[in-house]
Amino acid sequence: MPMELVLSALLSLSMALNIGLLAGFISVRAGAGMAQALLTAGGAAGGCLALAIAAVAAYR
């Protein structure tokens, strides 16, 4: 596996994790329950990861 692919995958995972944590934190601070905040965070992280991987795939 090329190093460029590994680094782009790590960058995508890091970006998705940060966005997911931020979305979950904002949801909790806005008054959502823990389950709803986890679903929001998971949706945000999954969407971000899908977009990043699609962008890498389109670039190649």
pLDDT tens digits for range 2-60 = 888 788 888 888 989 999 999 999 999 999 999 999 999 999 999 998 998 888 788 76
Would you state the structure tokens that stand for residue 57, as one six-digit string? 């795939």
What pTM does this model have?
0.79
CA distance 13 to 51: 11
Would you state the structure tokens that stand for residue 26, as one six-digit string? 């904002």
Output phi, psi for 30, to 5 deg. Answer: -80, -5
